[in-house]
Amino acid sequence: MSAAGAVVRGAGEGEHRSFCGGGLMTFKATSEETGGAFLLFEDRMTGGKVTPLHVHVQEDETFYVLEGELLIHIAGVEHKVGAGGMAMIPRGIPHAFKVASGAARVLTLLVPGTAEAFYRAASEPATAETPVDSNVDFGRVRAAAEQTGGMKLMGPPPFGG
């Protein structure tokens, strides 16, 4: 709910979107609601989900892990980030992540909120009950990145088997 520019949402509230089959995002504050300042979403993912190596051209990206563990590859170095931990990746820095636990729940903050176009192009409307799996449609990720221009894919996920 929004009043006088404020955005307040409770647990489970927000627009739900299924990301290319690889996670259930809940938009907690959209770019429109924040005047373009940022995009904030909660992401529920299953173990093994990976992202391709990529850079955000316009946004700084911050992950705050609520539950589970991520293995985050930043500029060639891997970092384990568990519940209560965070990682901030400035725009232009190559990175990727893998869900290293059985499941994870992560808050993702993108500043400014220009990346919302990519996340919408790479997702479908969903409900809180939409199943989550780890199979990301990388072709759709690439198409959404090319369509919106805010993210550049640098290569496949950099994680070993």
Tell me the pLDDT tens digit for each residue of 85-137: 999 999 999 999 999 999 999 999 999 999 999 999 999 999 999 888 778 88
In a domain, residue 38? The reply is yes
Displacement of CA 42 from its chain's centroid (Å): 8
Task: For 138-153, write each residue's pLDDT tens digit.
Answer: 899 999 999 998 899 9
In a domain, residue 100? The reply is yes
Question: Which range of residues forms the domain containing residue 99?
Answer: 25-154
How many Å apart are CA 100 and CA 49, to the nearest integer?
A: 8
Domain count, the chain: 1
In a domain, residue 10? The reply is no
User: Which residue from 153, 152, 150, 64 is spatially nearest to 115, judged by alpha carbons?
Assistant: 150
